[in-house]
């Protein structure tokens, strides 16, 4: 910037130059913020089509999966893979029975779904919450909600529950 020489009797001019300097520095600061936040600005301008595309893909995948699991029984069909851990060891893994449980849930047979895999049934609310958090993070990347439900304590607690379920289902046979 340039410096204004102060002369006697030109206080109005120096005030005016000082005001212009402060205004230009303010505009410069705004321009720097815009340049630094260009990626954020581009994301905001482009996010609605991406968000809509992601939502359409997720919803379409869920609908196709639900129709598939509703139409075919995993117990009778060869389309569904068998658990390799069960085939190799004879022990049930934490995921054993999940496909049959989803099939039973889609047919509104809650008792059968609980018998097939109780851990999956009790985990569904948290899984739905995680999907909601993912959608929220796409819509609003600065949201703190996804970080609140994915804390280290919650993840380790869930891991411990899965291991306890794995051990107990092989000891007591549920």
Alpha-carbon gap, residue 73 to 47, rounded angstroms: 39
Segment 13-61, tens digit of pLDDT: 566 555 556 555 555 555 555 555 455 445 444 556 666 777 788 889 9
- The predicted pLDDT at position 43 comes to 47
Packing angle of the helix pair 38-71, 11-36 (nearest 10 deg): 30
| pTM (2 d.p.) | 0.65
Give the residue, 174 or 154, on which the prediction is more confident. 154
Q: In this model, does residue 81 exceed pLDDT 50? A: yes
Using only the alpha carbons of the chain, give its radius of gyration: 30
- The predicted pLDDT at position 32 comes to 59
Segment 92-118, tens digit of pLDDT: 999 999 999 999 999 999 999 999 999
CB atoms within 10 A of CB 121: 18
């Amino acid at each position: 910037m340039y410096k204004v020489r102060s002369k006697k009797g030109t206080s109005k001019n120096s005030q005016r130059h000082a005001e212009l300097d402060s205004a230009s520095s303010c505009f410069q600061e705004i321009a720097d913020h815009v340049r630094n936040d260009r990626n954020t600005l581009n994301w905001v301008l482009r996010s609605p089509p991406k968000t809509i595309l992601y939502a359409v893909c997720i919803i379409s995948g869920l609908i196709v999966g639900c129709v598939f699991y509703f139409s075919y029984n995993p117990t009778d069909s060869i389309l569904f893979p068998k658990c390799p851990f069960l085939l190799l060891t004879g022990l049930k893994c934490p995921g054993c029975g999940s496909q049959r449980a989803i099939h039973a849930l889609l047919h509104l047979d809650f008792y059968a779904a609980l018998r097939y895999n109780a851990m999956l049934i009790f985990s569904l609310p948290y899984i739905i919450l995680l999907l909601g958090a993912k959608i929220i993070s796409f819509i609003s990347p600065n949201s703190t909600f996804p970080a609140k439900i994915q804390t280290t304590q919650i993840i380790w607690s869930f891991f411990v529950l899965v291991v306890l379920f794995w051990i107990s289902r092989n000891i007591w046979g549920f």
